[in-house]
Amino acid sequence: MILDLFKLDGKVAVVTGANTGLGQGMSVALAQAGARVVGVARRSCADTQARIEEFGGSFTEVICDISQMESIPKILNGALEAYGRVDILVNNAGVIIRNDAIDYTEEDWDKVVTLNEKIVYFLSQAFAKQYIAQGDGGKIISVASMLSYQGGIRVPSYAASKSAVMGMTKAMANEWAKYGINVNAIAPGYMATNNTAQLRGDADRSEAILDRIPAQRWGTPEDMMGAVVYLASAASEYVNGFTLAVDGGWLAR
C-alpha cells in the first residue's frame, strides 16, 4: 500500500538544531513516522524529547557545538552508540547575521558560512561514508532557504551559504545516488522561528512579506513535517538532487 512507503519504522534519523523551531518540528514528524531520532544541539533538547516520548517515540540527544569540525565524529558516533546505525541525516542547524553588505565583517561572514555550508558538507560526507559501509543506502536532507533562489537584503553571507546548500545538494546527489543515497533539500519560506523574530517584530517589513505570500501567513514548524517525512522515506527513492520549496507560494509570485 502506498502509505506504507512513508513509514520510517526501524530507521534512525539524526537532526541538527533539534531543540527548537523547524528542527524540533521535523524531529517530531520523523518520530511520528516511526524513526528513532537523535537530536543534535548546543543546548538541551529536553522539550523535543518530551514531545516525542509523549506518543511513545524514541529520542536521544547529542550536545555539542555544531559549528566546530570536531563535532562531526561526535554526532555520528553518538547516533551509532545509541542505535547501532544511521539512515537519515537532516542538516537543519544554521545561523543568520544581519548587516548591510558594505559593513559586513570577516568574522560574521566566517561564522555563518562555516555552520551553514562547511559543516553541512562535511557532516553529509561523514554520513555518506557510513551509509556506504552499511551497504543499504540512506537519506541526506539539508535545509536550504528562499535565499537559495534570491539575494535578500542585509544577509549576504546567509544568501551565499544557502545558495551553496542547493549547489552541494546537486553535486552530492550526482556522485552518491549510485550508492542508494538520496540527497535532497527543503527550502522553507518565511517561517515563524527565532531567525525571523526581528522581521516579524518590524510591522512594515512583516506586512510587506505577508503581502507577497499567497497563503497570507507565516509558515510554522508543522508545515515542514510532510516534506521531511517524504524525503526521508521510501516514497522519494527516485528523487535526487532536488530542493523542495515549502513557502506558501512565495516563489510563485
What residues are annotated to the active site?
158
Question: Under a CB-based contact definition with an 8 Å cutoff, are residues 43 and 19 in contact?
Answer: yes
The most distant pair of C-alpha atoms in the chain lies apart, rounded to whole Å, by 56
The whole-angstrom separation of Cα 220 and Cα 47 is 17
Pick from 42, 40, 9, 44: nearest CA to 26:
40
Q: CA 116: distance to chain centroid?
A: 10
Within a 10 A sphere around the Cβ of 234, how many other Cβ atoms? 14
List of residues 6+ apart from 219 with CB closer than 8 A: 188, 189, 190, 191, 192, 246, 247, 248
- DSSP letter for each residue of 35-82: -EEEEEESS--HHHHHHHHTTT--EEEEE--TTSTTHHHHHHHHHHHH
End-to-end CA distance of the chain: 36
List residues bridging with 219 in a β-sheet: 191
